[in-house]
Chain A
Amino acid sequence: EPEVTQTPSHQVTQMGQEVILRCVPISNHLYFYWYRQILGQKVEFLVSFYNNEISEKSEIFDDQFSVERPDGSNFTLKIRSTKLEDSAMYFCASSWTSGGSYEQYFGPGTRLTVT
C-alpha cells in the first residue's frame, strides 16, 4: 500500500538555525499539507499546497516558514530561524482531492527538537 514518507524521523537543532523537513507524498496525490503537533496537544494545520502553490496557510505559518515541491516528488518545509517553541512533531499529509471526499494520508512525522 502506498504511504507518505518523511525524513528525518528526528531532528535536533540549535535555536536560530535553519531546518528543512522532507516529505515524499503518495505519487498520484494532488494536495499536500504540513501539520504540527506539540507533545500531548492537538494537530495544528500549517499549510496546504496545490498546483505548485500555497492554497491555504494558518496564522502559525509566518514568514519564517516556507514550503517547496522542488522536483515533483519531494515536498519540503523550511523553518528559517528556529525558536524553542518550534519544537514539535511535524506531519506531512497528502490527499487526492481537497477534502471533497478523500482522506488525508499522514506520514510518520519528524520530531523537531530545538535547543
Chain B
Amino acid sequence: GQQVMQIPQYQHVQEGEDFTTYCNSSTTLSNIQWYKQRPGGHPVFLIQLVKSGEVKKQKRLTFQFGEAKKNSSLHITATQTTDVGTYFCAGQDTGNQFYFGTGTSLTVIP
C-alpha cells in the first residue's frame, strides 16, 4: 500500500541553525499538506502544496513539492525554540484518504 516516509526521524539543532525535513511517497500524490504537532497536542495545519514543483514560503518556513509530486520538503531558517515539535507531511491520492508521513521530531537547543 501507499507509504510516506520522512527523514530524519529526529533532529536536534542549536537555536539559530537551519532545519530541513524530507518527505517521500511511494506513489504520485495529488497534493501534500504539512502539519506541526507540539508535544501533547494535535496536528495543526501549516500549508498545502498542489502543483508540481511548487514552492511556498511562510516567514522562516519554505515548503517545496517535487516535480514528480512524490516528494516534498520543509525548511526552517534560523530556528527558534517555538519551532519545537513534530512535523508531519500528509499526502493525498486521488481519493479522500490522507497518508501521514512518519514525522520528524525537532528539538531546538537554546
Contacts and interface: CB of A to CB of B under 8 A. Distances in A.
Interface in A8-37: 31, 33, 35
B50 interface: yes
A103 B42 contact: no
Interface residues of A, number: 28
Interface residues of B, number: 25
A107 B42 contact: yes
Interface string B42-71: 111100101000000000000000000000
A58 B97 contact: yes
Contacts of B42: 91, 106-109
B101 interface: yes
Interface in A67-113: 91, 93, 98-109
Contacts of B48: 99, 101-103
A109 to B, nearest CB: 5
A42 B100 contact: yes
Contacts of B35: 43, 106
Contact of B95 (A43, A56, A59, A107): A56
B33 A48 contact: no
Contacts of A65: none
Interface of A: 31, 33, 35, 42-45, 48, 50, 55-59, 91, 93, 98-109
Interface of B: 1, 30-31, 33, 35, 37, 41-45, 48, 50, 88, 90, 92, 95-103
14 contacts: A31-B96, A33-B98, A42-B102, A43-B90, A44-B100, A45-B100, A48-B97, A56-B97, A99-B92, A102-B48, A103-B33, A106-B35, A108-B41, A109-B42
